[in-house]
Amino acid sequence: MDCGRRRTRYSSALVSAALRIDSMRKEGRVRHLGLLRDLLRKQRRATRRRGAGKEQ
């Protein structure tokens, strides 16, 4: 149950990040896209690590 809840919370965060990326693209600030992608990658790694620790 907790896993599902966490997944929905994370997906909503992803959606907000995607919306932010979209608005940035519209404004023409494509330079920050790489930074956002890196942040998302780091976040995903951290959440995966946390999930694995709890499961084990």
Domain ranges of the chain: 2-55
Under a CB-based contact definition with an 8 Å cutoff, are residues 24 and 39 in contact? Answer: no
Report d(CA 13, CA 43) in Å as an integer. 10
Helix (H, G, I), strand (E, B) or coil at 28: coil
Report d(CA 10, CA 16) in Å as an integer. 10
What is this structure's pTM?
0.33
Per-residue pLDDT of the chain (56 residues; tens, 9 = 90+): 455 555 566 677 777 877 877 777 777 665 566 777 777 787 777 666 655 555 44
pLDDT of residue 12: 78
Over the Cα atoms of the chain, what is R_g? 14
Under a CB-based contact definition with an 8 Å cutoff, are residues 17 and 11 in contact? Answer: no
